[in-house]
Amino acid sequence: MSTLKVYAPYDQSLIKEIPLKSAAEMQEAIDRAHDLYEDRSQWLAKHERTKILEDIAFLMEERYDEIVFQSAQEGGKPLKDTKVEMDRAINGVKLAIENLGHQGGQEVPMGQTAASVNRMAYTMREPIGVVASVSAFNHPINLFVHQTIPAIAVGSPVIIKPASTTPLSCLMMQDIYDVAGLPAGWCTTMVCDREVAEQLVTSPKVNFFSFIGSAKVGWGLRARLAPGTRCALEHGGVAPVIVEPDTDIKSMITGLTKGSFYHAGQVCVSVQRVFVHESIMDEVVNEMDTLARSLKIGDPVSEETEVGPLIKPEEVDRVHEWVTEAKNAGAKVICGGEKISDTCYAPTILLNPPEDIRVSTDEVFGPVVCFYSYSNRDEAIARANSLDYAFQASVYTQHIDVALDTVKKLNATAVMVNDHTAFRVDWMPFGGRDKSGLGIGSIPHSMHDMTREKLMVIKSDVL
């Protein structure tokens, strides 16, 4: 039997070795989920699903500390931030319960033509069918919830493949679902290699595919989906920020620093490109430099740690390679720019790197933020919009017309005003456009996507 060794990213110690699912086991899971969906006698009534979701939320709260520690240990996100993730995940389950009562259809008016008299029509929403989810490592608790709970809530069986670096948190969540009374087959966690996971993509028995990960992999998988399979893809971005000269710098810096170095920059909407008006560039960079140097880097399971490790040592090497490339091309390293260890990289600020090198054009996914000066806001917006990625962006200004104009002109699915690009709550629309993804995620949006509409038309002479 093949196994997977799960290592702590901070010290590379072995946490646990677990079995990998085989191709036969994956096919069995797909067949079981498909059979559940095809047999309406096995569908869970709405009140049954609601009760299960309520019990899941209760059990998550009961096992709060255990799940948080496991996630921080295997994923490397500092304990204090993992607690925030856990709170969001619990709230996500409660959001599904709340939105379950809003899943419905509407009347379609009839009688406007002679051919449509004596009829009434209504739409209703039904579960879409088997949902397949492929998840990422950076938010293992909350992504598990986002990629399974909407399906469970609407009555679609779901199979999830967690990231190979963070499967233990997901298996713990699966255990909670089981204890909460979710019948076998309605949510199945499959820890497997990439080749086995590809069955989730190509199977004609899968009706909806949810992917969180790199653009290269996501678009490649989309091309292999069976005909008729819908999908949602969430990729990364190269998040831009516009900082105007009237910005309240003191109030901005704390949030901007958090948005840049939260989870060591391993966030799809992490602040990466900050365009600052030349008149305040020195002050902004100096303030950011001071705060970045004060961040405590270390073991993610320590309550004091603010920046943890990158997920793998090779990611540290990659980030350092990109930073070295920027430095050699003329960027000024304000702080950081060095490995702290084989697993941790110093929070790094780069000033005016060329805009045609990797730290400026591709998602760093590490603790690196780039600052660029500008004199004209429209020119800064054009530079911010110059890439094929478009996810979340932000603008800092005290002038409402400037804010509104910038929001209108930035190519992004969401623009934060006087807040960093990594802001998110789980009921708001969230997703990328262009290379950054396809579809909009959130608990309510995903519930809608994991259902489909059916129209009923009734003909009667009494109408």
Mind listing the pLDDT tens digit for each residue in 428-457?
A: 999 999 999 999 889 999 999 999 999 999
Q: If pLDDT is split at 50, 70 and 90, which confidence band does 1 have? A: confident
Q: What local confidence, expressed as pLDDT, does residue 6 receive?
A: 98
Kindly name the residue from 170, 192, 268, 344 that is annotated as catalytic: 268
How distant, in Å, are the alpha carbons of 58, 237, 354 from that of 189? Answer: 21, 28, 44
Q: Which domains does the chain have, with CATH numbers?
A: 3-235+436-459 (3.40.605.10), 240-417 (3.40.309.10)
> Are the CB atoms for 122 and 105 separated by under 8 Å?
yes
Distance CA 218, CA 95 (A): 27
Which residues share a beta bridge with 454?
Answer: 124
Average pLDDT over residues 38-66: 97
- Any idea which residue has 């399974």 for tokens? 148
* Three-class HEC string of 63-90: CHHHHHHHHHHHHCCCHHHHHHHHHHHH
Distance CA 395, CA 250 (A): 15
> Are the CB atoms for 343 and 355 separated by under 8 Å?
no
Kindly name the residue from 170, 187, 192, 234 that is annotated as catalytic: 234
> Are the CB atoms for 130 and 156 separated by under 8 Å?
yes
140's enclosing H/E stretch is helix 140-154
* pLDDT tens-digit series, residues 259-315: 999 999 999 999 999 999 999 999 999 999 999 999 999 999 999 999 999 999 999
Q: If pLDDT is split at 50, 70 and 90, which confidence band does 189 have? A: very high
* pLDDT tens-digit series, residues 72-83: 999 999 999 999
Both structure tokens of 160: 């999830």
Distance CA 12, CA 4 (A): 14
User: Radius of gyration over alpha carbons of the chain, in Å?
Assistant: 24
DSSP secondary structure, 248-265, as one string: -HHHHHHHHHHHHHGGGG
pLDDT surpasses 90 at 103: no
Share of the chain above pLDDT 70, in %: 100
Distance CA 192, CA 111 (A): 55
Q: What local confidence, expressed as pLDDT, does residue 449 receive?
A: 95
> Are the CB atoms for 218 and 225 separated by under 8 Å?
no
> Are the CB atoms for 352 and 371 separated by under 8 Å?
yes
* pLDDT tens-digit series, residues 310-342: 999 999 999 999 999 999 999 999 999 999 999
Active site residue 268: yes
3-class DSSP assignment, residue 279: coil
Average pLDDT over residues 220-249: 95
Q: Which of 459, 444, 449, 437 is nearest to 237 (CA)?
A: 437
Strands (E), 337-460: 348-351, 368-374, 389-390, 392-396, 414-417, 433-434, 437-438, 451-459
Q: What local confidence, expressed as pLDDT, does residue 441 receive?
A: 85
Q: What local confidence, expressed as pLDDT, does residue 320 receive?
A: 98
Q: What is the pairing mode between strands 3-7 and 14-19?
A: antiparallel
Share of the chain above pLDDT 90, in %: 97
How distant, in Å, are the alpha carbons of 86, 238, 248, 387 from that of 378? Answer: 40, 19, 21, 16
Q: Phi-psi bin for 263: left (phi > 0), alpha (psi -120 to 50), beta?
A: left
3-class DSSP assignment, residue 374: strand
Distance CA 267, CA 384 (A): 19
Q: If pLDDT is split at 50, 70 and 90, which confidence band does 96 have? A: very high
How confident is the prediction for the chain on average, in pLDDT?
Answer: 96
* pLDDT tens-digit series, residues 337-392: 999 999 999 999 999 999 999 999 999 999 999 999 999 999 999 999 999 999 99
DSSP 8-state class, residue 43: P
pLDDT surpasses 90 at 247: yes
Distance CA 102, CA 383 (A): 41
DSSP secondary structure, 284-331, as one string: HHHHHHHHHHH--BS-TTSTT-SB---SSHHHHHHHHHHHHHHHHTT-
Distance CA 64, CA 70 (A): 10
Distance CA 25, CA 31 (A): 10
Active site residue 287: no
Q: What local confidence, expressed as pLDDT, does residue 436 receive?
A: 93
Distance CA 23, CA 4 (A): 15
